[in-house]
Every structure is written in C-alpha cells, then in structure tokens.
Structure 1
C-alpha cells in the first residue's frame, strides 16, 4: 500500500481519545430507552460542560482529574434536563468508563503500524480513566503508548500537554501527525507544530482559520487513502 501524502515524513500518529477513537455519546445511547426523549440533549450538555470545565481550570492555572470533571458535568446535565431520572447517574458514569470505539479504529491503527508508524493516544483523560477505556475497547494491542495529560498538570490545548508526546515517543513535533475530532484540539496541535488532521464526522463548520488542519477527513479510515 503506498504511503498517503499526509503520512510522508511522519514517524508517529497521535490520536485524541474522547470523540476521536471513542464515541463519547455511546454512554447515553446505551441507556437511551431509560433516559427518554432528552437523551441527545443530555449527552450534548454533558460533553459541552466536561470540555468547558477543562478550559476554565486551565485558564485559572488549576487542574482536576478529568474523571472528576466528567462527574461534575453529568451532574450539571441532569440538573439542566430534569425530565431525566437522576437515579441513572451511576449507570451513565459506568457506561462512560467503557465507551464504544468507532468501528474503523482497530484496523486503522494496525494499518498505520504496518507502515512503520508509532501509534499513540494523547488525551485529557486521567490515567485511570484512560486505562479502563482503552482496555474496555480492546485497543491496547493496537497502540504504542497511551498518554494522559496528568503529568503535565494542565489540559490541552496547553503546549505542556502536547510536550508529553515528544518526550514519550522520542520524535520531533514535525514528525507527528495529530488526529482529533475536536476542532479546538486541532487548533492547539497546529499552534504547537504538529501536522494536524481533523476528523469531522458530523460535518461541523470550519473555525479557527489561523490554525487550520492540514487535512479534513470524515472517518479515521480516510487517513490511509
């Protein structure tokens, strides 16, 4: 298989986890029958607040484990959508610990490694949270490294978070293709000097025009084309 242009000169492909390899909405979807008609808005609010809390803490110079932020965000989402039974909280949190991977993920990771590239996760998720998620999705054998921002003590898009990939993989930033479904994360990777790829599965509009992705794809499998 010929090497796609985006991968020429790369030594590693680093992925965001939540929303990129793992479907963050699969937790609520798993219990959609019990959640009821507010399932989608509940899931959207949960995700929005989870990310918002990470950005606010980073700007304040503070750090709290991402799992704690996930719990707090769900509490807000349940309060925001009072028609959802709050007794579902434990089940929803357990489902979030064991999110579904997108179906193309294992084959894509294996194909990249076959081409001699290192594969890794760099995630805002804390170490314990990531360990359970990656194990549950059976992705460990497809990855060379699973990196939490925990050691940096700050969330992406801080450069200190992206530094962790260089330290662990032993490559230059220009030798890393960074893949995320989160446009803000792609902007951070572009500012840092990675080669950023945006996985735009839901056809969101473009933003951050000064920090553009090198490539926009609709699924991870498109990395190989």
Structure 2
C-alpha cells in the first residue's frame, strides 16, 4: 500500500523516533549490572501508569508519570538513587538519543513533501526540546501533545485532538509508531497506521486488528510515499 503525498504522518516519539532505553549506559554507571532490567521496568511502568491515569481520569503530565515510574522501578529492584542522581536522570530523559533511522527518514520525507508531525504523550516543551536536541525538529512541521486533552494515548480523544490541532482529516492521517497500543488506538479513530516492528521477535497485539503496514525500520517509510 502507498501513502498519498497529501497525507499527514503522525510520528510517535518515545519508542519510534526516540529510544526510551538510551539511558541504559547512564544507569549502568549508577546501578551496575541491573541497568537493563531497571530500564525495562521503568518503561513498562511508565506506560502502565499512563494507561491507568487515562482510565481513571486522573491526569498528570507525562513528566510526572515518568518520575513515578522510575521511583517504582527503583523500589521493585531494591535499588536506591540519591536525590541529585534522580534529578539528573530525569533531566537526561529530556535529551534521549534518537534511533539511527529517524533523522534520515524524516529528511527524505521532508523532501517528498508529505505532512510530518510529532504526536506524543509527552509534555509539549519536553517534546520540542528533545526533537531539537536530536536534530529532528527541522524536518518536522510541528508537534502535538496530548497535554491539552488531559488524557493519554490510546484514548480516542487524543487522536481527535491531533486532527483538531493540525486540521487533518482522520482518513488522511497515518500514525507511525512502534507501540501496538498506539497503532490500535489510531485504527479505532479511523486513521491508518504504520507499525515499526523494532523487535522482530515481538508480535503485534492479539486485538483483532492489524496495522495497515508493518515495517522493520523507518528507513523504508519514504518508499511508501506515492510518486
């Protein structure tokens, strides 16, 4: 399937453009051999807490969710950080590394003229700062955060908010995400979706729906744009 040039691509940030586990080397310096496990649990709880808060209508900014998830992960693994290290770690979360395929793909898509927006659960200022720091911002046309809606993806309200913010019609929107829950949410909102399967061993969620397109890397995305 090809993507029309008048489509709007909505790029998930954490896990798609930006590596949420990029701080593992920093964690290694702080906690040694438990760094990878800590990073995995931190990310798992970050997502779980965002889902819970969405369901409970108990919204806090994503930066707060991220801090609370870190605190749980530390407690669950029996690890401790002093206050200065915790603050430093959360500050570094605002400058995570991009995946190597992100910048070249966005540059190629910009040259093709297709619409390109970041779409994230993250706080607006954090998203823009992060994308600027990794050299991705100049090849995007903007960023939409869920913050004004007061809930998190995959709540249908977040996808409606994206359309209202950008003026894009649902049928012209394509989500680009490595997160199955996000892909499922977008499909439910009447969008189409590209799942970036960053882990070949990880299947798509058994939800009764399938991504419109599955790719292993963002590098293949420009090839889908109709000529």
Whether the TM-score (by the shorter chain) exceeds 0.5 is yes
Gaps of 5+ in 2: none
Aligned equivalents of 2:2, 2:96: Cα separation in 1 = 29
Runs of 4+ in structure 1 over 3 Å off:
none
Task: Give the direction of change, closer, same or farther, for the CA distance of 1:174–1:208 in structure 2 (3 Å limit).
Answer: farther
TM-score normalised to structure 2 length? 0.91
Aligned equivalents of 1:209, 1:200: Cα separation in 2 = 16
Residues 53-75 of structure 1: CA deviation (Å, up to 9, x unaligned):
11111111221000000000001
Deviates more, 1:118-127 or 1:134-143: 134-143
Alignment correspondent of 2:81: 86
Aligned equivalents of 1:116, 1:59: Cα separation in 2 = 37
Aligned equivalents of 2:27, 2:62: Cα separation in 1 = 22
Alignment correspondent of 1:63: 59
User: Secondary structure at the residue paired with 1:19?
Assistant: coil
Select 1:187's aligned residue among 149, 174, 184. 184
Alignment correspondent of 2:203: 205
User: Secondary structure at the residue paired with 2:148?
Assistant: helix
Alignment correspondent of 1:175: 172
Residues 79-130 of structure 1: CA deviation (Å, up to 9, x unaligned):
1112x44133223212211100111212211211222211011100011221
Alignment correspondent of 1:215: 213
Aligned equivalents of 1:6, 1:24: Cα separation in 2 = 29
Shift of 1:134: 1.6
TM-score normalised to structure 1 length? 0.92
Task: Spell out the pairing of 1:1-225 with structure 2 (5 A cutoff).
Answer: 5-8=1-4, 10-82=6-78, 84-87=79-82, 88-203=85-200, 204-225=202-223
Residues 165-211 of structure 1: CA deviation (Å, up to 9, x unaligned):
21222221111111111111111011111111111111212223423
Residues 5, 113 of structure 2: 8 Å contact kept: no
Aligned equivalents of 2:204, 2:170: Cα separation in 1 = 24
Aligned residues: 220
Aligned equivalents of 2:160, 2:63: Cα separation in 1 = 22
Residues 170, 190 of structure 2: 8 Å contact kept: yes
Shift of 1:156: 0.6
Deviates more, 1:67-76 or 1:210-219: 210-219
Give the root-mean-square deviation of aligned CA atoms: 1.5
User: Secondary structure at the residue paired with 1:6?
Assistant: coil
Deviates more, 1:70-79 or 1:135-144: 135-144
Aligned equivalents of 1:10, 1:216: Cα separation in 2 = 21
